[in-house]
Amino acid sequence: MHSLYIDIKRMNLNYQNPDIKNFGYILLKNVLTEEELNFGLSCIQNDNKVNYSLMKQFIDTIFFPVIQKNDNTITKPNYVKFRFSNNNNSTDASTFHGDIYNHTNTELLPIFTCLCYFDNAQLEVIPGSHKYNNSGWSVDTYSKKVVLDVQRGDILVFHSNMHHRGVNYNKIGDRRLLQVFEVFPDEETFNQHFSKLVIVQSSKSFLMQNLINPVLYNLSKFPTIIDYATFCHYILMYNDLHYKIGMMDLAPWEKINKYVSYEPGRRVNIEDVNNKLEDLNVNILCNKNVYSRSYSNFYLYFYVLYWVVSLIILYIIKKTLFKGYNVRKLKFLKKIKIFFDLKI
């Protein structure tokens, strides 16, 4: 198995770690103590309800300070939302995807996703995919995928547009995972790039709720089938087609010079969870100033128009051909009639 991890002795603290620039991710091994992990897990109640206020305290006082202590990629984090899940990858992350899609001229996306593992798990990633920005050839890129074996107490930091997916999530046992999304590494980056971020709430899609999520959930039970589905989905995703086909995308002009994130699942503001318990796998919004919106109906109208125009064209072609056929048929019948008249 491929594993990229931080060697503290060779790390140059004057520069961003070269591993995350070249490969798109860093895996900080065994950096959380049992005491710190247990504090994070204390937010979970017996009925699988979560105290997200306590979880935010864990993020701000333990999680990010540990990252800063072991790596210099993120120095003054400013994040948009987080989510705590347990065995939920089968519904929204079983196929390769990026957490953000870069539609700007910025070569290296300056926004990160940070994962905290409370149990052993596996994540499949494609190193270097954060650089491609929809260039190159999808099949060649897909062949570079590797599986990371992640242990309890590890932290994974990666560019949010790096292609990744959860694997082997349907095995028995807890797979508790904290995901912190849209992390800006410092104040200067936040001020420069935050206005370009757009979050599309794809969970409101009828197709997502009633077709895509149920299909992915059932396919996830069959590793061979989900592997084929993953390959086909990757080709669509690599060419920026998957949300278009699912009619959950923005119009093309709405994505120009934007970082677009598609948000599955329910959302709750952090201010609304004080002294309250919430379900697992809820997006907890920590920055209400982020631009959020529903998906556009552009592709729905586009497909309707496409089929209407196509049917009209087919009808015209049929009528033209049928008319020509009738004319030729009449001429032929006249010739036969003339022939028999002459014989008589």
Predicted pLDDT of residue 166: 87
Q: Find how far residue 71's CA is from the centre of its chain.
A: 25
Q: How far apart are CA 166 and CA 148, in angstroms?
A: 10
CA distances from 104 to 12, 45, 89, 108 (A): 29, 42, 28, 10
Other Cβ atoms within 10 Å of 199 Cβ, number: 22
In what order do the strands lie in the sheet containing 146-150?
Answer: 146-150, 121-125, 164-166
Give the pairing type, strands 267-269 and 283-285. Answer: parallel
Residues 66-93 pLDDT 10s: 999 999 999 999 999 999 998 755 455 7
Q: How far apart are CA 211 and CA 205, in angstroms?
A: 10
Q: How far apart are CA 99 and CA 278, in angstroms?
A: 23
In the predicted model, residues of the chain with pLDDT beneath 70 are 1-18, 88-92, 132-137, 169-172, 204-223, 321-344
- Structure-block tokens of residue 266: 């329910």
Predicted pLDDT of residue 156: 97
The three-class DSSP label of residue 299 is: helix
Q: How far apart are CA 96 and CA 270, in angstroms?
A: 29
Q: Are 109 and 161 in contact (CB under 8 A)?
A: yes
Predicted pLDDT of residue 228: 83
Predicted pLDDT of residue 123: 94
Q: How big is the chain by its Cα radius of gyration, in Å?
A: 27
Other Cβ atoms within 10 Å of 146 Cβ, number: 14
Predicted pLDDT of residue 195: 98
Q: How far apart are CA 212 and CA 206, in angstroms?
A: 9
* Of 212, 194, 8, 192, residue with least CA distance to 97: 212
Q: How far apart are CA 245 and CA 309, in angstroms?
A: 18
The three-class DSSP label of residue 302 is: helix
Q: Find how far residue 8's CA is from the centre of its chain.
A: 31
Predicted pLDDT of residue 174: 84
Residues 16-26 pLDDT 10s: 465 798 899 99
| Per-residue H/E/C for 239-268 | CCCHHHHCCCCCCHHHCCCCEEEECCCCEE
Predicted pLDDT of residue 314: 87
- Structure-block tokens of residue 331: 């001429």
Please, which residues bridge with residue 278 across strands?
50
Q: How far apart are CA 91 and CA 27, in angstroms?
A: 24
Q: Which amino acid is at 5?
A: Y
The three-class DSSP label of residue 124 is: strand
Largest CA distance in the chain: 112
Q: Identify the DSSP state of 60.
A: I
Q: Give me the phi and psi of 123, to 5 degrees please.
A: -135, 130
